Amino acid sequence: MGCNLRSVVNIGLVIAVIDLLHGIATLAFYGYQLYTHYICHWNHGIRWCRYYVEETNHSTRVNIGLGEGAFCILFASLLIVAFCKYKPWLAWTWLLKAVVVIGINYYFIAVWLMEKSRHYHQFWDRHNYDQDQIFLLAGVGLTLIEHVIMFTYCCVVASFTYKVRKQRVPTMETDI
């Protein structure tokens, strides 16, 4: 009842494309946030806008998020190459990206929740509370998607590695 190598590769390519879309969505979200943070259309003036951008970690998260999106796109591209060229060692390096992305997201979610619990932003207007909520929900959503991709991916890559080693594809044995 097992799948052949071609089926496992196709499933892996679907996961890689989903991860590529995840990276593009991350880059798009944080690119939009970069635009809105530095345009500063809020009604509390330039002085408060600078305070908001410099004192919160939203601007830091936006900058790191842009790097995270580019990092995700790069590793998704490497994952596509790994499945097309039958390179299990390259496919396993994708887990490094997943762990780093999840760690970054957990860190910022924890910091935002601690700041909300201390009423750190209590003097800001409603738009600032909404902005905090957007960042929190985006962080949770991106982390959950990355978890689903990672757990599915581990099963597929384990099967991929087993199938490649079992069939002993000639291009694989000479590259290591």
| pLDDT given at position 77 | 93
Tens of pLDDT, residues 96-118: 888 998 999 899 888 878 777 66
- When pLDDT is cut at 50, 70 and 90, the band that residue 1 belongs to is very low
Identify whether 174 is part of a domain: no
Identify whether 158 is part of a domain: yes
Identify whether 176 is part of a domain: no
Those residues whose C-beta lies under 8 Å from the C-beta of residue 128, and which sit 6 or more positions away, are 42, 52, 121
Provide the percentage of residues in the chain whose pLDDT is more than 90: 23
Entry pTM: 0.77
Q: How many domains does the chain have?
A: 1
Over residues 32-50, mean pLDDT: 64
Angle at CA 82, nearest 5°, toward 14 and 98? 70
| pLDDT given at position 80 | 93
Identify whether 21 is part of a domain: yes
Identify whether 172 is part of a domain: no
Radius of gyration of the chain (CA): 20
Identify whether 138 is part of a domain: yes
Identify whether 90 is part of a domain: yes
Identify whether 162 is part of a domain: yes
Tens of pLDDT, residues 127-164: 566 677 788 888 888 889 889 989 999 988 988 888 88
Range of the domain at 129: 5-166
